[in-house]
Amino acid sequence: MYDIAIIGAGVVGGMIASTLAKYDLRVCILEKEGDVAMGATKANSAIVHAGFDAKENSLKAKMNVRGSELMEEVTTRLGVKYKRNQSLVVAFEHEREEVEAIYRRGLANGVKGLRILEKDELHALEPNLNKDLTCALLAETGAIVCPYELCLASVGNAMDNGTELILDFAVCGIEKNGGTYVIKASDGREVEAEIVINSAGVYSDVIAAMTGDNDFTVTPRRGEYMLLDKECGSFTERTIFHTPTKMGKGILVSPTVDGNLLLGPTATDIEDKNDTATTPEGFATIFSKASDNVANLPFNKVITSFCGLRATGSTGDFIIKERDGIITLGGIESPGLSSAPAIAEYVEAIVDGIKPLGEVKADYVATRKPAHYFRELSMEEKNEIIAKDGAYGRIVCRCEGITEGEIVEALTVNPVARDLDGVKRRTRSGMGRCQGGFCSPTVVELIARERGIPFESVTKFGGESVINYQRTKGDN
């Protein structure tokens, strides 16, 4: 029996787990997929928003601003890449009033480091912008982060402190059992907990309904992206937004912490909570809208595209509420990533009101080694490690320079990778220009070796996504 069960292993669920791991509690994370960060966390804009966009006095605004304040400390402590690169909301002259309104809203929300730039200063900062843009809001606290890396680090930190991760646990029912709840999975497994935290993303309304809460609904909002080669990573230094609409913050152009250039997302409300297909219409929208803001974008350098679903709630604001030991987080769409540390802090206080948390446990481990520490070392430091373990001297992914040693680490460090995409998210093998065309067969062999499973059983992303049918040249 657990003190707390967290449903959903995205970045918000992970940050909550990491925060609660400080205390003497028995906590589990229930995830319906075969890995963490499998929903919106692995397919979003990777932006730490400053907090100027959300409606004044909304929970979304409060969580965004506080989360932005906390993010640098959290990422430093958990060894996650983070860069305060600033952001710009650019506009044409007829949109100037919108920029001024966003500026005033940002001040009301308590955002620091905001100012309006005029044309000359704007284009001096970002020379690749469309020359017809005449003004912009500069947010000095705007930043970028790797969302799935933050999720992996927070879940890993929680696990290192005793939290249990239970994968492939698709919740199909929640029943009250005296002073506890029995959470049932579709495969027949059951978990019992005193407190249940619903952090299920686009499925948060479905989980809430299982507890008798039908106060809100969540509509999946499809967001499509294009990712450009690292050759283009310096095309803009700052994250470039256009003035927002009711559907979101529009098509952005942004560098990533790993050196690529990201374009997107689109915004289309759909019904299917699993539909992450990209579309020709989405690509056309990205091409058109991104080009309105940044001139001569090198679309011939696109190396991949992807789609994520935002959990758009019916209330227009974040929903964080507690009833009889059920803590529900609904409608945690953008800026959910930016808000994650603040949401965790907020939920921590709610839990403390239900079940006093007490002092931080004596053996709590607050920090985590960076996942990509090896590539940041000097050549002398690398050679010292290679002398002890030759696997770190064997390059597997040539595009990203990832070694066998790093891949083996990903298969042994919490939360362990179980498939090809899991290794990719942890190491970046397969994320470069060739998108795994060269390294994937070797990575599959390493997964099979380290997990002690047949080569033919290794999957791309769990389930039935088997990569190889059979060997063509015998056992060897």
Out of 49, 94, 123, 242, pick the active-site residue: 49
Residue reference for tokens 């803590």: 327
What is the b/e burial string over 37-49, where b = at least 16 CB atoms within 10 angstroms of the residue's CB? Answer: bbbbbbbbbbbbb
Using an 8 Å Cβ cutoff, are 267 and 301 in contact?
Answer: no
The whole-angstrom separation of Cα 204 and Cα 202 is 6
The whole-angstrom separation of Cα 436 and Cα 400 is 10
The whole-angstrom separation of Cα 279 and Cα 259 is 25
List CB contacts of 113: < 8 A, sequence separation 6 or more.
50, 138, 139, 140, 141
Q: Provide the token pair at 388.
A: 């002890």
The whole-angstrom separation of Cα 344 and Cα 327 is 12
Closest C-alpha to 312, from 380, 245, 216: 216
49 tagged catalytic:
yes
User: Concatenated DSSP letters for 265-326?
Assistant: ---EE-S-TT-----HHHHHHHHHHHHHHBTT--GGGEEEEEEEEEEEETTSS-EEEEETTE
Catalytic residues: 49
